[in-house]
Amino acid sequence: MLWIHPFWAFLLPIAASLPIGWSMFRTLDVPTDRAGRGLDALPMFLCRLIGRREPARMDWKKYAVAFIVFNLALFILTFGLLYAQPRMPLNPDGKGSLGALGYKDTAGVDHPGADTAVVFNTVCSFVTNTNLQHYAGEQNLSYFSQLACIVWLMFVTPAAGLAVMLATLRGLRGDSHLGDFYADLMRSLVYVFMPYCFLVAILLVGSGVPMTFQPAAQATTLDGLATKMETQTIARGPVAALVAIKQSGTNGGGFFGPNSTHPFENPTPWSNMLGVVSIIVLPMASLIMAGLMLKNMRHAVVIFSVMLLLLFSGLVVAVWAESYPSAATQGLPVVRGPNMEGKEVRLGPVAAATWAAITTATSNGSVNSMHDSLNPIAGMVPMALMMLNVVFSGIGAGFENMLMYVIVAVFLAGLMVGRTPEYLGKKVEAKEVKLAMIAILFHPLLICAGAGLFAATDWGAKTVANPGSHGFSEILYEFDSAAANNGSGFEGLGDNNPPWNIATGVVLLLGRFPALILPLALAGSLAVKKRVPETIGTLRVDNLTFAGMLLGTVLLVGALSFMPAVVLGPVADQLAAVPK
């Protein structure tokens, strides 16, 4: 019975990714001569509402500029709306501005005044498809802010990432232009995210997730019924709409502060299974779409298989580690069983470990348990998956990140046999390798530099809930989550203060945009090169040998980049927890 939940959590999304990936290919990769016809009529009609009569023919630079300008507009608009929250509609509980949310400094002094840093962090988080939350949604956001700011960004930011993936794939197959960013954005919204999330939201409502605009309910507790004094405020709202897109768009976060541990977000085992399947199915389907667009399904299967092997290995380790009791129960007169600290009793440690692995493999970041309470080795699994950041990851972003490792693997293989490396019929030269290495090495730089700075100063040292190696793990995990655009956290950390809000906000931005634009530039460089004929010496990228080469490249770079930090954090934490 132990492995039933992980088994279905793998089998269902793999099976569903095949038809969904084919559907994405048919609706998103529209030839220029068929733009606006048939199924494409609706997204092109929406494009015309913003002034575009025909799809533009963008090269990678124009596409990148359109992507950046669009996100800049999102940033400015959302920043203003969150500050103006008290004057916006759909605020039945009278929530104030998010900018008025106070914080506690490193000396423990409360600062109730305005904190622009938390608004900056929140906007950075949701514009980058991360959903790192340094606030509690049910306490600090109105229904208008939840829908018009949070849910809206949850739709358009993964759609923007998918659009960049489409442009990259067109460049890799040698198209003369990479498409129109706004047309790709509309197609993604109309034919991927809207229908899928509508179906998921209906199923969530059927399982008991609230969907209402009524204010918070006032309930009389059992004690209050006797004393006629005690009442309880029960937050509610348009929860199902947010949960559907937070899972499906690899967004994460939650309507409530406890996230998917809250019974209103995740009330039943069926809603838990629906949530964990929704987290990973669209990232998987996007790889099926990639194989169809490149007309090289065997290569897509190689990438898919390497990602799946990394995820499965991490999940096995996490479930195994959580089958042992927490070190906190050592010496206590309690029954020794699996680690139940920080778990929902109705879900248990296996479902918690499964969710922890899948949510961090996919840049989702929603949680159904407290990751800070995982046993150290189990906590290392989500940390490692975010450090690698290539295991399906975000929609679009996962393929973009893995593409950089593919280029490096092709380059290394070329060095071994003394040939100029080739990828999909195009020569890989110094420019492409430099772009790939910059993208790969920038990720560990953000994590290690940020964690090192905060671990060495009061900004981090006085905000951790635990001393020593576990406290360092809390700091490391926060920067890891921000750089990987994940959003989960070791929530013993006191991270709602200006240093943390500003630092992680900057890391969020730097972890998102270079990771999407550099692969786009690489694809644009390959697109203008002449295709070379395949010979007996050409490296095949669709067989088991290349799969091993790619897996080894990912693990080697990951180990060299992060091993010292991991040893100082979860490994040392595990050694300290072993009974003497």
Q: Looking at residues 129-146, what average pLDDT do you find?
A: 80
Q: Cα separation of 139 and 122, whole Å?
A: 15
Structure tokens at 160: 């923007």
Looking at residue 105, its pLDDT comes to 62
pTM: 0.92
HEC-encoded secondary structure of 10-29 = HHHHHHHHHHHHHHHHHHHC
Structure tokens at 497: 């203060």
Query: pLDDT tens for residues 251-310?
Result: 888 888 788 888 999 998 889 999 999 999 999 999 999 999 999 999 999 999 999 999
Q: What is the band of 478 on the pLDDT scale with cuts at 50, 70, 90?
A: very high
Looking at residue 114, its pLDDT comes to 57
Structure tokens at 242: 């947010």
Looking at residue 580, its pLDDT comes to 54
Please report the DSSP string for 164-201 in residue order: HHHHHHHHHTT-SS---HHHHHHHHIIIIIHHHHHHHH
Task: Give 434's contacts (C-beta < 8 A, 6+ positions apart).
Answer: none
Q: What is the band of 1 on the pLDDT scale with cuts at 50, 70, 90?
A: very low
- Does residue 34 have a pLDDT over 80? yes
- As a whole number, the mean pLDDT across the chain is 88
Q: Cα separation of 97 and 113, whole Å?
A: 11
Structure tokens at 141: 């956001």
Q: What is the band of 322 on the pLDDT scale with cuts at 50, 70, 90?
A: very high
C-alpha distances (whole Å) from 210 to each of 236, 266, 380 are: 7, 10, 34
Looking at residue 107, its pLDDT comes to 61
The more confidently predicted of residues 451 and 536 is 451
Looking at residue 106, its pLDDT comes to 63
Q: Give residue 551's identity as a one-letter amino acid code.
A: L
401 in Cβ contact with 494 (< 8 Å): no
Q: Among 37-46, 128-137, 223-232, which stretch is predicted with the lowest mean pLDDT?
A: 223-232
Query: pLDDT tens for residues 102-122?
Result: 666 666 666 555 578 888 988
